Amino acid sequence: MDQAVLAAQTNPFPKPGDLVKGIVLHKAKNKCLVDLCDGQAVGIISGKETNDSINTFKGIQEGDTISSVVVEDENDEGFFVLSIRKAAQNTAWDRFDEMSKSGEVFSVKAEEANKGGLLLEIDSIKGFLPVSQLAPLHYPRVNEANSQEILRRLQRLIGIKFNVKIIAIDREAGKLILSERAAEEGERGKRLQKLKVGDSVTGKISGIVKFGLFVAFDGLEGLVHISEIAWGHVRNPADYGKLGDEVKVQVIGLEGEKISLSMKRLQEDPWVDAAKKYEVGQKVKGKINRLTSFGAFVTLEKDINGLIHLSEISHEKIENIDKHLKVGEEIEAQIINVDLDDHRIGMSIKSLTAPPPEVSYQAMASGAEPAADSEPTTV
């Protein structure tokens, strides 16, 4: 007689790893008893072993036939320990194959994070959602792609549900690669087609980097460049919002999937009033807010800055601007140029003082008209 058949007749009880069918004898809140081998054995399913992705346990009733996997031989109470969760794995790969072919969108919950993305488990099968496949709202945009900061951002996503599609499946290697971007791609395409330059939209800040703010809205994402955040000089985009903040922006450019946005264009341009207030030759006072290698920027009023070029600070040649001016210092200067189209006001300190005699002599030698010793130079 065949040895396997003989073994089955002499030992009809299931072994760990076997897929078995049985009839539900009793069901409680989080466990049930199952008749195995025509009453010769009883199994128990409890705790996390009742869970699978399609909530099989919730729908079963006493008298139903269910499939489960044997986890342990008889325990101290005489029950075989069974698992619906592990039984689901046997059919999960077939289901994933179908979902991969059909492009079905389904929901998953992130359980772990590493620097490459998010990890999860569906019916005991490990899945992976790479960083590159996250939708705009969840994508961790950080300065200089700092890996530690990326990991911190990903860890905040643990426990969050994501709508995803399967983009790669390898049953033999046990790989299941998912994409949130692919799940939203169809809707993103439709929304992108409807979007027009000039549209005003409300979104949430999804990334803060040195060169601007990323804003996610309606499954899309655009960039507010640092020059489009405010009318005045912006030193640090982080001063204008934090991740998740709701902001209103205007679409100012569309190039393929690249969306350019502006926050400042939804605010009144202060340079319109500046055109009425500032003119060449006018003396003004302001506070230095920034020093550069080519000059000093001066705050005249909120969002209105003037520039004193290095050559307009003194009649003498200046090599180190820090020795002449300090940030926060209040100065008086004369306006020597106004370009309202480009939002620029040129200023001069030296125009308010007479040049020293040697400078006047050099100017005379070169054929230029020297300024009077008793009167300041004007433009």
257 and 203 within one domain: yes
Q: Please count the structural domains in the chain.
A: 4
> Could you tell me if residue 95 is inside a domain?
no
Task: Give the helix/strand (H/E) hosting 97.
Answer: helix 84-102
180 and 219 within one domain: no
Out of 220-224, 264-268, 348-352, 361-365, give the one with best mean pLDDT: 220-224
> Could you tell me if residue 228 is inside a domain?
yes
Parallel, antiparallel or unpaired: strands 117-122 and 330-339: unpaired
Q: Of the given ranges (132-141, 172-181, 229-238, 351-360), which has the lowest mean pLDDT?
A: 351-360
Stretch 19-43: mean pLDDT: 91
> Could you tell me if residue 284 is inside a domain?
yes
Give the pair of three-digit tokens for residue 146: 């700092």
pLDDT band per the 50, 70, 90 thresholds, residue 32: very high
203 and 172 within one domain: no
> Could you tell me if residue 379 is inside a domain?
no
Which pLDDT score, from 0 to 100, does residue 363 have? 53
Domain boundary among 132, 151, 184: 184
Of the candidates 224, 235, 222, the residue with the CA atom closest to the CA atom of residue 297? 235
Stretch 3-15: mean pLDDT: 53
For 293-312, the pLDDT digits (tens) are 899 999 888 888 889 999 89
73 vs 378, more confident: 73
The CA-atom distances, in angstroms, between 227 and each of 181, 210, 212, 264, 319 are 29, 11, 8, 9, 29
3-state class (DSSP) for residue 88: helix
For 118-171, the pLDDT digits (tens) are 999 887 788 999 999 998 889 898 877 788 989 999 999 999 999 999 999 998
Q: Name residue 295's beta-bridge partners.
A: 292, 309
pLDDT band per the 50, 70, 90 thresholds, residue 202: very high
Average pLDDT taken over every residue of the chain = 85
Which pLDDT score, from 0 to 100, does residue 251 have? 96
For residue 108, pLDDT over 80 is answered with: yes
pLDDT band per the 50, 70, 90 thresholds, residue 7: very low
> Could you tell me if residue 231 is inside a domain?
yes
Q: Name residue 337's beta-bridge partners.
A: 346
For residue 356, pLDDT over 70 is answered with: yes
> Could you tell me if residue 371 is inside a domain?
no
> Could you tell me if residue 94 is inside a domain?
no
Contacts of 190 (CB under 8 A, 6+ apart): none
83 and 113 within one domain: no
> Could you tell me if residue 377 is inside a domain?
no
Which pLDDT score, from 0 to 100, does residue 304 have? 85
pLDDT band per the 50, 70, 90 thresholds, residue 13: confident
Give the pair of three-digit tokens for residue 370: 């020297």
Q: Name residue 239's beta-bridge partners.
A: none
Domain boundary among 31, 58, 88: 88
Domain of 72? 20-88
Domain boundary among 266, 299, 327: 266
351 and 292 within one domain: yes
Stretch 260-288: mean pLDDT: 88
> What CATH number has the domain bearing residue 160?
2.40.50.140
